[in-house]
Structure 1
Amino acid sequence: MYGQILTFIVALVLFSLQESGNEALRPPVKNLSLAALVFAAFVLLCAVLFGRLRAAWHKGLPQDLVAARFYRLQGRLSVLALGFLALDVFVLNVKDLFQWVPGFSRSSTVSGLVGLAIYMLHLAAIWYWAYPLHRRLTGTSTGRAAFIKGHFSFYSALLFPWFFIALVLDALQWVHLPAFFASELGQIVLFGLVFSLFLCLSPPVIVRFWRCRPVPDSPVRRRLEEFCRSHRFRLGDFLLWPLYGGDHFSAAVLGILPRFRYILITRGLLALLHEEELKAVVAHEMGHVKRFHALLYLSLFLAYAAAAGAFHDIVLLAFLQQKWVLQWVLSRDSVAHNLFSIIYSIPVLALLVLYFRYLFGYFMRTCERQADLFALKTLGDPSPLVSSLQKIAYHSGGIEDLPSWHHYSIRERIHMLLAATANPDLIAAHDRKLLRSAAVFFLGLGLLIHGAVQFRHSEKAQAWRQDIQLHILEAELKLDEKRPELYMAYSGLLMQRQRYRDARLILEKGLRLAPNHPGIQNNLAWLYATAPPPYRNPQRALELAEQAAAQQPDPYVLDTLAEAYYVNGRYEEALAAIRQAIVQKPQKVSYYLEQEKKFLDALEKERR
């Protein structure tokens, strides 16, 4: 389940990263035909691989090996489906086929739904061809259509958190929020608030979507309820979980608030286990709640959001620093845009997979073990939980040693339960291990995020941004040499980089094209007034500044005029000009007040 959630996240990122150029590579009909052929190839591949595994079983391959290869094959095909999705997106430009969908180009929710639908179509092919082996391994009576429908229902509900959060965040774009929520920290806080709201209020919606029904009243149910009450564990209900048709052997706890908290048990597990084993399963799920695992998972999601936000600009700047990458971005060609999307997606996806597969996976395994140990401590006897795990492993096709990135294998779980029974100190030791791990992780990640934020505000990062902006403006000037605002922006960046000679040449060229443009006059006046020799020319600075101010007496133009008066020794006029600017209440008024003080000090010094 958790592995599939990770692939859904990757699918969303893959689909969102690609941006098409202005020039289409192929006609839409041809793109659609090629996409259909690629999907047909994936379907054929699934049929062949599952067919080979069935043939190997018929030839005598042991069932436990068949089960291990079966689950491994499903996982690998799910990952391979991401490769086919990437092919659709980056090579076949399938996103161009959905531009007609209302909101597709503006809403991340709409475009994300389309991307997930394409990926789910590939998963449906996997489920279709996996069904015969699944039926033989588990002995299920569920038909193929119900099996596939069950998968769709289950994973669609798992995607509900993303859909809810994306929809709310899209809607909030049209709402006037406090300025704080426009900042990076505010965005993370907003995401956390929306996610927390979802965790608290969504369980009733999800269980209805899954069509869960209350576990029928029986002596076993009543004793399970009494078991929960005796341990002060409140919940809304025990529900039958129709996971993959209901024959799957699984249980889960859903919800944080007691009123909206449910323990879900599949029909298959309810029939498989006796009362004491069911109590052990309930105690395990109780451990997740009592040890606040949902809050830890929420914190891990928020930590990833914070880290992704902190490092996003750095990764992007590092790429755009390369001229050949920037040329792809500025190109109107779809191939160039796709190449950039592919290159940029590599570190983004690598960090995402590493974080969730290894860091998040470590905490999930550790939490699952803590829930096992909580159940042991609650029951005082490992036998019910051990026997329930053994039954699940046997009836699932002999999966005692099946590896999982988010769960220890069943054999490892049983060994730990027996070891903790022999040495109860292991329970407290594991609790301390989880606490230490979380503290070290959040402290370390916090330091990394702090370092990233500091770097983003450093002179080095600022120089990177200026270099990129210079390259962009150079490219735009090559396309259109008659836009005065480009000369203004380009010269301003050149002066910030102290490239005064280049700035003067650009501004003089711009002035020849637009002799009376106040913006160009102002920038050239500022250069002549503030640049070091041999570029300083106070007299020419004043001449240009007066011309600019006569046409456009804005605060920044009056500031240039005041500076020109100042470098020409005309302090009273400089003071009058800067005060005229201050009267207009400009932004960053503190700068203008500092200028006023500088001119006033010069005037007083002259009068002494």
Structure 2
Amino acid sequence: TSLSMFRLHRTVRVLDRTGDLRALAAADRVLGMAPILIVAVHCWNILGMHWLDAVRALLGDMIFIDEAVATLPPLIAITLIWYAYYPIDRRVRQALLIRHLDQARPIPPSLTRWQYISLQIRHQFLFMLLPLGLILFWSELVNRWIFTDMQEAYRGALQVVGVVAIFFFAPLLIRFAWDTIPLPDGLLRRRLINMCKMHNAKAREILVWRTHGGMINGAVMGVIGLLRYILLTDGLIESLNERHIEAVMAHELGHIRRRHMPTLVALLMVCVSAAAYVLTYVAQVIWWLKFYWLVPPSISEQVTMDRLDLFITGGSLVVGLLIFGYISRRFERQADTFAVQHLSMSPPRIPPDGLLDSGTDPLAEGKLPDIRNCVITREAVMSMAGALEAVAVLNHIPPARKSWRHGSIRWRQHYLLTLIGKPCNRLRIDRIILIYQLIAVIGVILIGAAVVMDLFQQGSTLY
């Protein structure tokens, strides 16, 4: 943390003296890598250095409190990184003021350091900590206060029910944890609602995600329509033109219509479980060899077992997340494909009177043309590629920068160019994702069968 803060402070001095943008790129790399390293070190402290046990020795094993205190060090460290990055963010915002004035764009309010940190905490921490904290609280509540005499497998089933409920209702919590308001009534809202109707994509509300112009992005939260929100940031609505906003919205609707969220959750569970299954057998081989050459004789059996458990847990997470990242990038590719399919079936709106119901705008009627008669148009591809470019530029992201879950902007744009002229209903990415979804269904069935068998085996011990 100290090294990262020193590097960011040095970047501020370089920017003030020379204005070298390479220093800004280096600062962005520090901002991206520092939290990952901080979390990795904290995981080692928990698993290898028994940090949680030390906290419990001091505070006692209270429900949720000891875990919350044990989580504070990485949260404080990451907050200090944001504290050090704020002067860089402020200088970037000030440098963009002239561009905003030239383009007649709204000027976002200037943030104080504490407003900036508060914004980051709400959007970065609470997104994960709210559902994870509730899951942890429910798990300990079931284990220690509710049905304490229940068989372990049955308590596990009750925990799963609670986790599923939290997963479904988490968007309601995050919607209020983040700074969001419903998209005001107007032409844009009516067009976006008509897009939802056109694709039969149900959502509880379309929200403006207020980031004070600090983020250009869209998102979808929720699995079922009654508890699903579509979010567009204020910066995106203010900065992108109508066609680009339609492209971003179509991308988010692609996640809904192709059922990406439940499939990704299932695939993450399958990937981690499969990796743990394989690594368990690897650990058994290591255990068998430990008396021969792999593990020094001076290490006790208990220490060896602890290390093997750490190997299985950590290894399954790493392998599972690597596979998950690869699959997630393909889902983003399909969402981009869905967007150009939509744009190809919905040409640019040029009504003579500018009215929504002029008859020249497919979105005005909310009717989806027959996809079998559609081919991917150059205009649709260039609109989606342009929206991606605008998002990258306005977020100060180099188009070639790789992303674990999304891939680079350039990689996605190059793929879109290969779609021009192809039939909308016969695209390779749709067939690939169908295979992934089949794997997810089979994997969940196998995991469910294993859990049910375990329940029966433990239940038989009662008789």
What TM-score does the superposition give when structure 1 sets the normalisation length?
Answer: 0.57
The 2-side partners of 1:427 and 1:417 are apart by: 15
Quote the residue 2:404 is aligned against.
405
Q: Is 1:279 aligned to residue 279 of structure 2? A: no
The 1-side partners of 2:163 and 2:44 are apart by: 32
Quote the residue 1:213 is aligned against.
181
The letter of the residue matching 1:350 is G
CA contact (8 A) 1:325 1:340 kept: no
The correspondence for 2:39, drawn from 63, 70, 82, is 82
CA contact (8 A) 1:78 1:123 kept: yes
| Secondary structure of residue in 1 paired with 2:317 | helix
CA contact (8 A) 1:246 1:268 kept: yes
The 1-side partners of 2:114 and 2:462 are apart by: 66
Quote the residue 2:394 is aligned against.
395
How big is the shift at 1:226? 2.5
Going from structure 1 to structure 2, the CA distance change for 1:202 and 1:229 (only over 3 Å counts) comes to same
The letter of the residue matching 1:364 is S
Per-residue deviation, residues 72-119 of structure 1 (Å, max 9, x unmatched): 222221132135436755559575245343534xx5x44432232221
How big is the shift at 1:262? 0.9
Stretches of structure 2 that go unaligned for 5 or more consecutive residues are: 97-107, 345-379, 451-460
| Secondary structure of residue in 1 paired with 2:167 | helix
Quote the residue 1:362 is aligned against.
326
The letter of the residue matching 1:353 is V
Quote the residue 2:207 is aligned against.
239
The 1-side partners of 2:167 and 2:44 are apart by: 35
Per-residue deviation, residues 382-432 of structure 1 (Å, max 9, x unmatched): 343222222221222252111111112112222222221233469620011
The letter of the residue matching 1:378 is H
The 2-side partners of 1:178 and 1:291 are apart by: 43
The correspondence for 1:132, drawn from 84, 87, 100, is 87
The 2-side partners of 1:326 and 1:50 are apart by: 47
How big is the shift at 1:300? 2.2
The correspondence for 1:254, drawn from 197, 218, 221, is 221
Going from structure 1 to structure 2, the CA distance change for 1:49 and 1:208 (only over 3 Å counts) comes to same
Going from structure 1 to structure 2, the CA distance change for 1:83 and 1:197 (only over 3 Å counts) comes to closer
* Max Rg structure: 1
The 1-side partners of 2:442 and 2:298 are apart by: 39
The 1-side partners of 2:297 and 2:284 are apart by: 10
The letter of the residue matching 1:382 is V
CA contact (8 A) 1:370 1:430 kept: yes
The correspondence for 1:376, drawn from 315, 320, 340, is 340
Of 74-83 and 256-265, deviating more is: 74-83
| Secondary structure of residue in 2 paired with 1:119 | helix
How big is the shift at 1:369? 0.9
How big is the shift at 1:272? 0.8
The 1-side partners of 2:299 and 2:146 are apart by: 35
Quote the residue 1:574 is aligned against.
none
Quote the residue 1:431 is aligned against.
430
CA contact (8 A) 1:255 1:262 kept: yes
Structure 1 segment 278-297 matched on structure 2, within 5 A: 278-297=245-264
The letter of the residue matching 1:103 is D
Task: Figure out how many residues of one structure are paired with residues of the other and give that number.
Answer: 398
How big is the shift at 1:319? 6.6
Of 361-370 and 409-418, deviating more is: 409-418
Quote the residue 1:22 is aligned against.
none
Structure 1 segment 591-602 matched on structure 2, within 5 A: none
Quote the residue 1:543 is aligned against.
none
**When you count helix as a share of all residues, which structure comes out higher?**
1
CA contact (8 A) 1:203 1:254 kept: yes
How big is the shift at 1:377? 0.6
The correspondence for 1:230, drawn from 189, 198, 203, is 198
The 2-side partners of 1:304 and 1:110 are apart by: 31
Percent of aligned positions that are identical: 24
| Secondary structure of residue in 1 paired with 2:200 | coil
Going from structure 1 to structure 2, the CA distance change for 1:60 and 1:432 (only over 3 Å counts) comes to farther
CA contact (8 A) 2:270 2:440 kept: no
CA contact (8 A) 1:307 1:445 kept: no
The letter of the residue matching 2:257 is K
Per-residue deviation, residues 170-191 of structure 1 (Å, max 9, x unmatched): 22224349978617xx84x656
The letter of the residue matching 1:345 is L
Q: Is 1:153 aligned to residue 122 of structure 2? A: yes
The 2-side partners of 1:242 and 1:318 are apart by: 53
Quote the residue 1:182 is aligned against.
153
The 1-side partners of 2:444 and 2:296 are apart by: 29
The 2-side partners of 1:92 and 1:196 are apart by: 29
How big is the shift at 1:436? 2.7
What TM-score does the superposition give when structure 2 sets the normalisation length?
Answer: 0.73
The 2-side partners of 1:588 and 1:151 are apart by: 51
The 1-side partners of 2:441 and 2:19 are apart by: 46
How big is the shift at 1:355? 1.4
Per-residue deviation, residues 256-287 of structure 1 (Å, max 9, x unmatched): 22122111111111111122222211111111
The letter of the residue matching 2:75 is M
Quote the residue 1:165 is aligned against.
135
How big is the shift at 1:61? 7.2
The letter of the residue matching 2:142 is L
Quote the residue 2:67 is aligned against.
112
How big is the shift at 1:326? 9.9
